[in-house]
Amino acid sequence: MKGIVFTEFLEMVEEKFTYEMVDDILTMKELPSKGVYSAVGTYSHTEMVTLVVNLHEKTEVPLPVLLETFGEYLFHGLFKAYGSMFSDIENAFDMLESIEGYIHVQVRKLYPEAELPHFKIERKGENKLVLDYSSERKMGDLALGLIKGCLNHFKEEAEVEMESLSDDGSKVRFIVSK
């Protein structure tokens, strides 16, 4: 998992909680990186899971809520860092439709070792988009937050339904309806 995900997570924790909370979640359990992250580094996704679980244990905020909240926050951080790559995209549906064919292609150019989730995306008319998410990391709630962050960025109102397609959380369907 790319370091920018870790640095954005820690920034979110400091912003929404406190700097002390950041310190607490970094020191609760042994981390392979010792809690030191570079935005361009690569770290095991299990380390992110540990940090999120640590935050859950300290705050008692449900894990799905933490991941969704982080996804919304992360979208804005990623757009701030890489927004120039998307200057031609004018709305949320166009952005979401470009995940596999453009966004992930660009990410792989920058970070060939990146392990990205897969999306099958289908537009169902002008006001409905279906995204089938697949990832061994099982972070559908994070993806939900990223989708909501995208909608917020473009100041668009939409309902996002999330439906599990597998027992283990590795496959999720999102239906976005305006």
Alpha-carbon distance 32 to 47, whole Å? 7
pLDDT at 26 > cutoff 90: yes
* Sequence-ordered list of residues with C-beta below 8 angstroms from that of 6, at least 6 positions apart, any chain: 37, 43, 47, 48, 51
Which domain CATH number covers 122? 3.90.1520.10
pLDDT, tens only, 50-88 = 999 999 999 999 999 999 999 999 999 999 988 888 888
pLDDT at 108 > cutoff 90: no
How much is the pLDDT for 22?
A: 98
How much is the pLDDT for 97?
A: 96
91 & 171 share domain: yes
Whether 70 and 4 have beta carbons less than 8 Å apart is answered as no
Give the torsion through C-alpha atoms of 79, 83, 85, 91, to 10 deg. 80
How much is the pLDDT for 113?
A: 83
Q: What angle do CA 125, 127, 130 make, to 5 degrees?
A: 75
Please state, for a pLDDT cut of 70, what percent of the chain lies above it. Answer: 100
Number of structural domains the chain divides into: 2
Instruction: Choose the final residue of a domain: 17, 36, 61.
Output: 61
51 & 88 share domain: no
Mean pLDDT over the full length of the chain: 95
How much is the pLDDT for 8?
A: 98
158 & 136 share domain: yes
Give the position of tokens 């002390």.
20
The candidate with the shortest Cα–Cα distance to 95, out of 149, 134, 174, 160, is 149
Average pLDDT of span 82-107: 90
Range of the structural domain that residue 20 is part of: 3-61
Q: Which residues of 27-61 are buried (b: 16+ CB within 10 A; e: fewer)?
A: ebeebeeebebeeeeebeeebbbbbbebbbeebee
111 & 57 share domain: no
Phi, psi of 98 (to 5 degrees): -90, 5
pLDDT at 107 > cutoff 90: no
82 & 40 share domain: no
How much is the pLDDT for 40?
A: 87
pLDDT at 115 > cutoff 90: no
* Sequence-ordered list of residues with C-beta below 8 angstroms from that of 97, at least 6 positions apart, any chain: 121, 123, 129
Banded model confidence at residue 106, pLDDT cuts 50, 70, 90: confident
Structural tokens at position 68: 């969704």
